Structure 1
Amino acid sequence: MAKPKSLTKQPKAKPKKEQKLESVDDFQAAGVEFEEAAGKWRAGDAAKSMRFFRRAIDMYDQGLRMFPRSIDLAYNKARVQLEIATHPILVDQLEQPLRAVLEEALASHRYTLELDPENTDALFNQAQVLTAIAELIASDEDGEGGGNEAEALKALREALDLQTICLTRQERKYQEFLELEHFADEQNASEKPPPASGSKEASEPSGAEEDDEWFNVVEPVTIDTLIDTLLAQMGTLTTFCSILSGSPEQAQPGTLVWAEEVATELVEKIQAISGEKQDRLQEIALARANLVSAMLEAAYRTGQTNAEAYGRELNLAFSNPNLQIDSFVDGLMAKARSFLALSSAMADADNEDARSQSTMRWNVLTASIASLKSASAARGISQEDLVSTHLLRGDASLHLYSMAFPPLSHQTAVNTASQNAKNAEVYYRNASRLTSDGEERDVASLKSMVAQYLQAYSQGNAQGDISGLLGASPRGQGWVIQQLEDMMAENLVPQALLS
Structure 2
Amino acid sequence: MSKPKAFLKHSKAKKRSEQGELQILETADDYLAAGVDHEEAAGKWRAGDAVKSMRFFSKAIDVYDQGLRKFPNSLDLAYNKARVLLEIATHPVLVRQLNAPLLEVLQQALEAHRYALSLDQDNPDTLFNTAQVLTAIAEAYAKDADRPDQDALQPLEEALELQDRCLALQELRLEQSLQEQREAAAQLETETAESGASESTAHPAQDSDASPATGTEDQWFAIVEPVTKDTLIDTILAELGTLTTLCSILSSSPAAAPTSTLGWIEEFSSKLVQTKLPILLQDAETEKLQEIALVKANFSSGLLEAGYRLGAIDSSTYKRERDEAFRVPDLDLERNYAGLLANANSLIAFNSALADGGASIAASEASQRWNALSAAIANMAKASKISGPVPDDIAETHFIRGNCSLLQHRLSHPPAFYQPAIANAAQLLKNADVFYRNASKLYQDDEQKVISHVRAAVSQALQTGSDILSAAAANAPGKGTEWTTGQIEDMVEEGLISLAFESS
Displacement of 1:314 in angstroms is 0.5
* Cross-structure match for 2:457: 449
Displacement of 1:204 in angstroms is 6.7
Equivalent of residue 476 in structure 2, options 473, 476, 479: 473
Equivalent of residue 254 in structure 2, options 243, 248, 251: 248
Alignment of 1:98-497 (within 5 A): 98-140=102-144, 145-189=145-189, 190-191=191-192, 193=199, 207=212, 209=214, 212-268=218-274, 269-279=276-286, 280-378=288-386, 380=388, 382-456=390-464, 462=465, 467-474=470-477, 475-495=479-499, 496-497=501-502
Displacement of 1:40 in angstroms is 2.3
Q: Distance in 2 between matches of 1:3 and 1:381?
A: 23
* Cross-structure match for 1:14: 14
Instruction: Say if 1:357 and 1:47 are closer, same or farther in 2 by CA, change over 3 A.
Output: closer
What letter corresponds to residue 165 of structure 2 in structure 1? I
What letter corresponds to residue 237 of structure 1 in structure 2? L
Displacement of 1:163 in angstroms is 0.6
Displacement of 1:209 in angstroms is 2.7
Q: Is the 8 A contact 2:8 2:76 kept in 1?
A: yes
Q: Distance in 2 between matches of 1:99 and 1:465?
A: 32
Instruction: Say if 1:468 and 1:24 are closer, same or farther in 2 by CA, change over 3 A.
Output: closer
Q: Distance in 1 between matches of 2:205 and 2:436?
A: 74
Instruction: Say if 1:465 and 1:274 are closer, same or farther in 2 by CA, change over 3 A.
Output: closer
Instruction: Say if 1:486 and 1:55 are closer, same or farther in 2 by CA, change over 3 A.
Output: closer
What letter corresponds to residue 166 of structure 1 in structure 2? C
* Cross-structure match for 1:459: none
Aligned residues: 489
What letter corresponds to residue 78 of structure 1 in structure 2? A
User: Could you say what secondary structure the match of 1:10 adopts?
Assistant: coil
* Cross-structure match for 1:68: 72
Q: Distance in 1 between matches of 2:177 and 2:120?
A: 21
Q: Distance in 2 between matches of 1:15 and 1:348?
A: 63
Q: Distance in 1 between matches of 2:430 and 2:262?
A: 41
Q: Distance in 1 between matches of 2:29 and 2:206?
A: 33
User: Could you say what secondary structure the match of 2:312 adopts?
Assistant: coil
Higher alpha-carbon deviation: 270-279 or 282-291: 270-279
Q: Distance in 1 between matches of 2:59 and 2:114?
A: 22
Q: Distance in 2 between matches of 1:362 and 1:160?
A: 37
Higher alpha-carbon deviation: 222-231 or 378-387: 378-387
Q: Is the 8 A contact 2:10 2:221 kept in 1?
A: yes
User: Could you say what secondary structure the match of 1:229 adopts?
Assistant: helix
Q: Distance in 2 between matches of 1:195 and 1:276?
A: 31
Q: Is the 8 A contact 1:300 1:307 kept in 2?
A: yes
Higher alpha-carbon deviation: 45-54 or 170-179: 45-54
Q: Distance in 2 between matches of 1:124 and 1:230?
A: 11
What letter corresponds to residue 377 of structure 1 in structure 2? K
What letter corresponds to residue 313 of structure 1 in structure 2? E
* Cross-structure match for 2:93: 89
Instruction: Say if 1:346 and 1:28 are closer, same or farther in 2 by CA, change over 3 A.
Output: same
Instruction: Say if 1:473 and 1:379 are closer, same or farther in 2 by CA, change over 3 A.
Output: closer
Q: CA RMSD in A?
A: 2.3
Q: Distance in 1 between matches of 2:247 and 2:235?
A: 19
What letter corresponds to residue 172 of structure 1 in structure 2? L
Structure 1 unmatched ranges of 5 or more? 457-461
Higher alpha-carbon deviation: 158-167 or 206-215: 206-215
Q: Is the 8 A contact 2:469 2:485 kept in 1?
A: no
Q: Distance in 1 between matches of 2:252 and 2:342?
A: 18
1:209-246 deviation per Cα after TM superposition (whole angstroms, max 9, x unaligned):
35643223221101111111111111111111112211
Could you tell me the percent identity over the aligned residues? 48
1:262-321 deviation per Cα after TM superposition (whole angstroms, max 9, x unaligned):
111121222221121032111111110000001111111122221111111111111111
Instruction: Say if 1:61 and 1:418 are closer, same or farther in 2 by CA, change over 3 A.
Output: same
Q: Distance in 1 between matches of 2:390 and 2:57?
A: 28
Q: Distance in 2 between matches of 1:201 and 1:230?
A: 40
Q: Distance in 1 between matches of 2:370 and 2:91?
A: 38
Q: Is the 8 A contact 2:432 2:456 kept in 1?
A: yes
Q: Distance in 2 between matches of 1:380 and 1:471?
A: 34
Q: Distance in 2 between matches of 1:29 and 1:433?
A: 43
User: Could you say what secondary structure the match of 1:44 adopts?
Assistant: coil
Instruction: Say if 1:465 and 1:299 are closer, same or farther in 2 by CA, change over 3 A.
Output: closer
Higher alpha-carbon deviation: 63-72 or 345-354: 345-354
TM-score by length of 2: 0.91
What letter corresponds to residue 38 of structure 2 in structure 1? F
Q: Is the 8 A contact 1:21 1:27 kept in 2?
A: yes
Instruction: Say if 1:468 and 1:284 are closer, same or farther in 2 by CA, change over 3 A.
Output: closer
Higher alpha-carbon deviation: 348-357 or 223-232: 348-357
Q: Distance in 1 between matches of 2:44 and 2:401?
A: 37
User: Could you say what secondary structure the match of 2:110 adopts?
Assistant: helix
TM-score by length of 1: 0.92
Instruction: Say if 1:55 and 1:472 are closer, same or farther in 2 by CA, change over 3 A.
Output: closer
Instruction: Say if 1:61 and 1:463 are closer, same or farther in 2 by CA, change over 3 A.
Output: closer
Q: Distance in 1 between matches of 2:156 and 2:202?
A: 58
What letter corresponds to residue 184 of structure 2 in structure 1? A
Q: Is the 8 A contact 2:462 2:468 kept in 1?
A: no
